[in-house]
Amino acid sequence: MNFPAHIEKALTDVELCSTEVSSALVSGEPLALVSASAALRQAALDFSQLLQDITQVDLKSKNLKLRLKRIADIMAFQRESLIRRTVLVERALNAMVPATQSTTYAQVAGPYGSPGKQTGAFKLLSA
């Protein structure tokens, strides 16, 4: 079943942008990934606006459901790939710059946290 031209174009745009994001993920180019994901975000927003005006006949189309399912599966795979890449970059950063492994907060010494350190500014207290 063929869709109206504007719906077909929007679906094709989302699929093309999704393909560009996949190729940017494979290449590892961060700038390409940023621009491809921004284009995908815009195409998805444009498509979601079109879905509000779509007819009930088009919504019940198996072809539309299959294409949307394929796009959703691709995006889920891309999300997992981004999570894997984030872990890989974080591990590489920790290996290259060991100071990034330190925690932000001090280690807990007791039930109420660690005692404060003296600065040396006040050596004697008097009343």
pLDDT on residue 79: 92
pLDDT on residue 123: 60
Residues sharing a CB contact under 8 Å with residue 5, sequence separation 6 or more, in sequence order: none
Answer whether 30's CB lies under 8 Å from 77's CB: no
Answer whether 21's CB lies under 8 Å from 37's CB: yes
Burial of 84 (0-12, 13-18, 19+ CB in 10 A): exposed
pLDDT on residue 95: 84
pLDDT on residue 107: 58
- pLDDT digit string (tens) for 44-67? 999 888 888 777 777 777 888 888
pLDDT in tens, the chain (127 residues): 567 787 888 889 999 999 999 999 888 888 999 999 999 999 999 988 888 877 777 777 788 888 889 999 999 999 998 899 888 888 888 888 877 665 555 555 556 655 566 566 656 656 6
pLDDT on residue 125: 57
**Phi, psi for residue 53 in degrees, rounded to 5:** -105, 5
- pLDDT digit string (tens) for 69-78? 999 999 999 9
pTM over 0.85: no
String of DSSP letters for the chain: -PPPHHHHHHHHHHHHHHHHHHHHHHHT-HHHHHHHHHHHHHHHHHHHHHHTT--HHHHT-HHHHHHHHHHHHHHHHHHHHHHHHHHHHHHHHHHH-GGGGS-SSPPP-STT-PPPPP-SS------
Q: Where are the domains of the chain?
A: 5-97
CA 94 from chain center: how many Å? 21
